A and B are shown apart, each in its own frame.
Chain A
Amino acid sequence: METVLAVLVGVLVAASVYLMLARNVLRFLFGLVLLSNAANLTIFAAGRLTEAAPPLVPEGLPGPPEMVANALPQALILTAIVIGFGLLAFALVLVYRGYQSLGTLESDAMRYAEPVADTQPAPATKPEGGAP
């Protein structure tokens, strides 16, 4: 199963890279979501998959009686998921604010700090979001 998971992670990463190379920062954000899923699956696969019982100890025993799933990567993934959520939420708010202030979602046009007139089509329009 690890083999299939490795290929699956590759597909997710490829999709996320393709999305992150897009001009629209919203697509970049989608790529970020896919990438954190891929990262979690990577940790999961690196800890080996066992189609076994969850890592719980039955009442009254000192330890799991038979092979259970690897608990360590699960603990790592659990926090990674929550942190990934925090990152995504912050990035989303950033994109939202960026759109309000700059009036665009095109990363090429977000040149507030480094305005370049010649190479890229500059954002000539006034910001529309935060005006009212």
Chain B
Amino acid sequence: MNKNRKLLSGPYLVWSIAFIIIPLAMIFYYGFTDETGAFTFANIAQMGTMENLKALGLALLLSLVSTIVCLILAYPLAMILSNLNVNQTSFVVLIFILPMWMNFLLRTLAWQNLLEKNGVINGILNFLHLPELQIINTPYAIVLGMVYNFLPFMVLPLYNVLIKIDKDIINAARDLGATEKQTFLKVIFPLSLPGVISGITMVFVPALTTFVISDLLGGSKILLIGNVIEQKFKQGSNWNVGSGLSLVMMIFILLSMAVTTKYDKDGNGGAF
């Protein structure tokens, strides 16, 4: 029976080999060859230059910060939402998906309008005689953009997990004398771990690799590793170096994946 069920993943296996593995192999090919097709490590070594290391470091820092901010913002939010007596899940889901029906580029451009020196927010602050907010074209604006764009990816998995937690378990914990804090730390949080992990994955990586947000809200002054790679492909049209840098960046992605898989297993161990 299990064998039959396994067959269900057959189409996906074929699909992923054709459209994920093979294209990726082509990136590897480009990453390890030069223009003439000869084998080289030079593309990979490009990551060692000061500029690229700095861009990578900054990208790691900013994406880490936004992931943490997203988690801190999203967890209470998901808890509040999961406690609402809303019958239709789709309502809650839609509140967070709805903004995406406005195009991503337009939404990010709209933050320019809001944050600019003569923008909407400063207009309001001026009216209230409060000091102006000067974060446009700084890393803060980029973090804001990341949090704004990726928050739904944190909220949705958390909400999906929290709504599934049996209320009886929580009540049982309370009946047995656990405090609110204990209930949260010993019952709710461990049970929600799969959601936390999937949320972190869904926020950290797009944040690490973005170039549009840093471009639009950072005034193109702040280079993240995504910008560097994008430039290699678009402005320098040097696909080999671009591929090489992508490969190095993927090491960090793989690292984060390894960490998440490890904790995911632990989470499952507790759940079953």
B is a partner of A: no
User: What is A's interface to B at a CB cutoff of 8 Å?
Assistant: none
Query: Chain B interface (Cβ within 8 Å of chain A)?
Result: none
